[in-house]
Amino acid sequence: MNEAGSNFRRPFYYPEPGENMSSAVNREALAVREKVGIYDGTPLGKFELHGPDVTTFLNRIYTNSWDNLEIGQGRFGLMLHEDGRLLDDGVTFRLGENHFLLSAGSGTADAVYAHMMRLLQVVWPNLRVYVTTVTSQWANICVCGPKAREVLVATGIDINLDSDSFPFMSMCKGFGWREYFLASLV
């Protein structure tokens, strides 16, 4: 029951004995809607972008502006081809003044990287932006649903997860047994 994505394999669904795909997917969706679910987002493309011109670059390749995004905050964006067609959509977080973490779809990560590199090398070679692919270096586990915060708190996480301290589309860094970033997307 696997689906392929960005050179990774991940489960498509988890059937119970005698359950078909449609029933399993519906059961899992209902569990996430009413309680909690876990999704392995590791195959999503992940890129760190650094440099003094990184905000200018993001403003050019996405339909929205990145100038006013605060450090620790994220924003959903649509990345376009030069002819205006949609290339990818995803969430990008600002980690520092000139440092962003960009996510791309599992099936489009290679195309997004090639697109960014071509633009930086051919179209805008004067922009001082450095792109590092970190897809294989960063795991991405999505804990979602109304009980997600409860589950994370039960793990002993060292971050205050109440809605005021950790609002929607924010990211923070924690140190447990290993350094991690935690993002709030729901």
Q: What digits encode the pLDDT tens for the residues 141-155?
A: 888 899 988 888 888
pTM for the model stands at: 0.84
Sign of CA dihedral 59, 90, 5, 141: positive
CA distance 32 to 104: 23
> So where are the chain's domains?
45-133
pLDDT of residue 112: 97
Higher pLDDT, 17 or 157: 17
CA distance 90 to 164: 24
pLDDT of residue 169: 81
Stretch 41-51: mean pLDDT: 92
Reply yes or no on whether the pLDDT at 69 is more than 90.
yes
pLDDT in tens, 92-130: 999 999 999 999 998 899 999 999 999 999 999 999 999
Reply yes or no on whether the pLDDT at 57 is more than 60.
yes
pLDDT of residue 1: 46
- Token pair, residue 142, equals 């999505």
Fold of 45-133: Alpha-Beta Plaits (3.30.70)
- Token pair, residue 80, equals 């376009």
User: Residue with structure tokens 């962003």?
Assistant: 100
The b/e string for 5-20 (b: 16+ C-beta within 10 A; e otherwise) is: bbebebeebeeeeeee
Euclidean distance between the first and the last CA atom of the chain, given in angstroms as a whole number = 27
Higher pLDDT, 107 or 9: 107
Stretch 13-25: mean pLDDT: 92
When the pLDDT of each residue in the chain is averaged and rounded to a whole number, the result is 87
Reply yes or no on whether the pLDDT at 43 is more than 90.
no
Residue 177: which pLDDT band, with cuts at 50, 70 and 90? low
User: Residue with structure tokens 């339909």?
Assistant: 63
Q: Where are the alpha helices (DSSP H) in 39-105?
A: 54-61
Report helix, strand or coil for 104. Answer: strand
